[in-house]
Chains A and B, each alone.
Chain A
Amino acid sequence: VHRLRSVDNLFVVVQELKDYQFKENKEDALKDLEDLVKKLPWTDPLKVWELNNSLKKKKTKRKKHNLQSPASREKLSDGGEEGGADQNNTNDQKDCAQNPVAVEPSGGQDTENPRGVASRNGVEEEEDNEQSDVKVEAQASSERGTKTGDGQTGEGEAKVLRFRVTCNRAGDKHSFTSNEAARDFGGAVQEHFQWKADMTNFDVEVLLNIHNNEVVVGIALTEESLHRRNITHFGPTTLRSTLAYGMLRLCDPQPTDIIVDPMCGTGAIPIEGAAEWPYCYHIAGDNSPQAVKRAANNICSLLRKNESKDSSTALGVPLDIIQWDICNLPLRTGSVDIVVTDMPFGKRIGSKKKNWDLYPACLMEMGRICTPGTGRAVLLTQDKKCFAKALSRVGHIWRRAQTVWVNVGGLHAAVYLLRRTSERAEERRPFW
C-alpha cells in the first residue's frame, strides 16, 4: 500500500463516525470528544500501526530481524503483502520518510485521482483490518515486543509511547478550533494509554479529521505527506506529485509514447512521468528561466537518488528540458503522442485576462504537435470558463473525452482529457 503513487497520506482508521452531532457549547463538544477516546476500538489499529512501523524500519534494522525466529520473519513477509498492492513485490519496503524511488507501478489496487472528493490532503487511503492478519499478529506479538525506533527488544509489554494528536477540521458550524480539539482529545488519549505527549518526537500520530459532521479518527502510517516526492526545488505553483501521477494515468501512456509538458514549471509532471513510465520519452518545457532552472535541479536530485551503488555515474532518465514559448513550439508537426500540463490558473501565474488569448493559442499549438487520431491531452485548469470557450474554437482538432473534478489547494479545478481528431494540422499556422 505504501507504493500507491496517487496517495498523499496513509492512515489506519480507528473509527469513522459518519454523522456526528457536535454539541453547541464548546466545552460540551470537547468533552464529548474526550469521552470518545475511551470508547474507540484502539487495539487492532494499533497493531496495524506496529506492523507498519516494523516494515518501515525493516531496511535499517535488518540485523535485528535476522535474529528473530523464522515464524515472525514469515509473518512480516505476509504483512508486506497485506495491502495487496503488488503481488510480485520483494520484501524491500523502503522507508517512507526517504521518499521511495521509482518502484514498479502499483498493480491491481490503485486509487484514482480524487474524483470530486473535496479533501484537504488529496486522497486519503483507508486500510482495512483484515481478520487473518490480526490473528497472526496476536500470536507473534509477544515475541516481537514493540518494534519502535530505538530497537529495544521488548518484553512483550507496551512500553511508553510518545504521541501527538493532529486535528484537521473543515466546516463552519463547529464551536471549537482544531487546536482545541487536538489538545483535549490528546489529553484524553494520554490518560487512557498513559502515553507521553510530544509534538515533535512522536511514535504515534493520532489523527482527528473532522469534516462538518463526519469525524474520522485514525493513526498515521506515513510520516510526511507523500505528495512531495521527487521534487526538491519548489516553485510558486508546484503541482503535487500525486496529482501529476493521476493526470499521467488518465492519458494511459503506452510504451514509446512521447509525452510533452509544454508549461512544466518545476517539472513535477515530466519528472513523475520519467520515474513511473520509463519506457516513454518525456519532454519538459517552459518559457521562464527560473522554472527551467528549478526543473533541471529537480532532475539532478532525481538522478542522484537513482545512483546505483556500483558505479559512480547516475543512470540517465528519458527526459529532456527545453526553454520555449508555448504559443510557438519548436517541435515538428504531429511528432508527439501526449500533452499533459497544468495550465496557468490566472491566479498566481498570469492573469484571467491573459488566459483569454493564451488558452486558444495553447490549444492550437498542442493540436499541431500532437499525432492526429491517436494523440491525447490531459490538461488541468481552474479557469474552466475560459477553457470551455477556447475548446469550442478548436473543435476541429480536439474533442473532450472526460472531465475529472479535483481540489487543488482549495480551488475547484478540473482535469480535461482531450482526444486529437484525425484532422491534420497545417504545417505552420499563420502568424498571429
Chain B
Amino acid sequence: MKLLTHNLLSSHVPGLRPGGGFPLRIEAAEVRVRPVPFNAAFVSRLVPRLRWEALREAAESLGRPSELPPEPLPDYEADEEFLRRLHHVLLEVEVLEGSLQCPDSGRRFPISRGVPNMLLSEDQ
C-alpha cells in the first residue's frame, strides 16, 4: 500500500461520526522502498487534493524522518526538490505488512503482501 492510497482511505465502520474514520493509523511491520519514475506535473497537481497533515503523520509513523514541511510550500510547483521529496513519500514507500487502525472505533484492518483488507465482518 502506497501512502497516496492511504491518503484516500477512510474507515467505514458503521456508526462513526462524520469524518471519524480518517485518517487511519498505520502500524507497519514491513516497509519497502521502490523507485517510481518521477513526473513533476503529476506530483504538483496532486497537492491540492491531499490531506496534508494526514500525509505527514503517515510518513512519520513509518519511521521516516518527516521530509515534508508542515504545509505545502508556497510556489511548490516550481520547487523540484520539494516535489521530489513528495513524490518519494507518496509513491515510493510501500507498506507490505502491518495494519490500519480506525481512529474512532479502534477496529484494525490487516495489510498483507501490500494489500489492505478493508472488509468488515458480517456482524458489523
Is the C-beta of A41 less than 8 angstroms from some C-beta in chain B? no
- Tell me the minimal C-beta distance from B90 to chain A in angstroms: 9
The answer to whether B119 and A287 touch across the interface, beta carbons within 8 angstroms, is yes
The answer to whether B18 and A332 touch across the interface, beta carbons within 8 angstroms, is no
Is the C-beta of B91 less than 8 angstroms from some C-beta in chain A? yes
- Tell me the minimal C-beta distance from A218 to chain B in angstroms: 39
Tell me the nearest residue of chain A to B43, going by C-beta.
A256
Which of A279, A313, A336 has a CB less than 8 Å from the CB of B8?
A336
The answer to whether A323 and B92 touch across the interface, beta carbons within 8 angstroms, is no
Q: Which residues of B contact A313 (CB under 8 A)?
A: 34-35
The answer to whether B119 and A315 touch across the interface, beta carbons within 8 angstroms, is no
Binds A, one of B9-17, B65-73, B78-86: B9-17
The answer to whether B118 and A316 touch across the interface, beta carbons within 8 angstroms, is no
Contact with B along A284-326 (1 / 0, CB 8 A): 0001000010001000000000000000011111101111110
Highest count of chain A CB atoms <10 Å: which of B16, B19, B34, B118: B118
Is the C-beta of A283 less than 8 angstroms from some C-beta in chain B? yes
Q: Which residues of A contact B18 (CB under 8 A)?
A: 427-428
The answer to whether A258 and B8 touch across the interface, beta carbons within 8 angstroms, is yes
Counting contact residues on chain B (CB < 8 A from A), the size range is 35 or more
Q: Which residues of A contact B16 (CB under 8 A)?
A: 428
Is the C-beta of A235 less than 8 angstroms from some C-beta in chain B? no
The answer to whether B8 and A323 touch across the interface, beta carbons within 8 angstroms, is no
A330 and B24 CA atoms in complex are apart in Å by 10
The answer to whether A321 and B8 touch across the interface, beta carbons within 8 angstroms, is no
Q: Which residues of B contact A320 (CB under 8 A)?
A: 1-2, 4-5, 114
A315 and B120 CA atoms in complex are apart in Å by 33
Given known pairs A332-B8, A335-B49, the reply for A296 and B114 (CB within 8 Å) is yes
Is the C-beta of B103 less than 8 angstroms from some C-beta in chain A? no
- Tell me the minimal C-beta distance from A336 to chain B in angstroms: 7
Q: Which residues of B contact A332 (CB under 8 A)?
A: 8-10, 22, 51
Given known pairs A258-B8, A320-B2, the reply for A279 and B39 (CB within 8 Å) is yes
Q: Which residues of B contact A324 (CB under 8 A)?
A: 118-119
How many residues of A are in contact with the other chain, CB < 8 A? 32
Q: Which residues of B contact A292 (CB under 8 A)?
A: 115
Highest count of chain B CB atoms <10 Å: which of A315, A316, A336, A427: A316
Is the C-beta of A281 less than 8 angstroms from some C-beta in chain B? yes
Q: Which residues of A contact B92 (CB under 8 A)?
A: 316
Is the C-beta of B74 less than 8 angstroms from some C-beta in chain A? no
Is the C-beta of B46 less than 8 angstroms from some C-beta in chain A? yes
Q: Which residues of A contact B42 (CB under 8 A)?
A: 255-256, 279
B80-124, CB < 8 A from A: 91-92, 94, 109, 113-120
**18 pairs from A and B in contact (CB 8 Å cutoff):** A255-B41, A256-B46, A279-B41, A281-B4, A287-B119, A292-B115, A296-B113, A316-B35, A316-B92, A320-B5, A321-B114, A322-B9, A328-B12, A329-B12, A330-B10, A335-B8, A335-B49, A427-B18
Q: Using CB atoms and an 8 Å cutoff, list the residues of chain A in contact with chain B.
A: 255-256, 258, 278-279, 281, 283, 287, 292, 296, 313-318, 320-325, 328-332, 335-336, 427-428, 431
Q: Using CB atoms and an 8 Å cutoff, list the residues of chain B in contact with chain A.
A: 1-2, 4-5, 8-12, 14-16, 18-19, 21-22, 34-37, 39, 41-42, 45-46, 49, 51, 91-92, 94, 109, 113-120
- 8 closest A-B pairs by beta carbon, nearest first, are A256-B45, A316-B36, A320-B5, A316-B34, A323-B117, A330-B118, A324-B118, A427-B18
- Beyond A255-B45, A315-B35, A329-B12, 16 extra complex contacts between A and B, CB < 8 Å: A256-B41, A256-B42, A281-B46, A315-B34, A316-B34, A316-B35, A320-B2, A320-B4, A322-B1, A323-B117, A323-B118, A324-B118, A324-B119, A325-B119, A325-B120, A330-B118
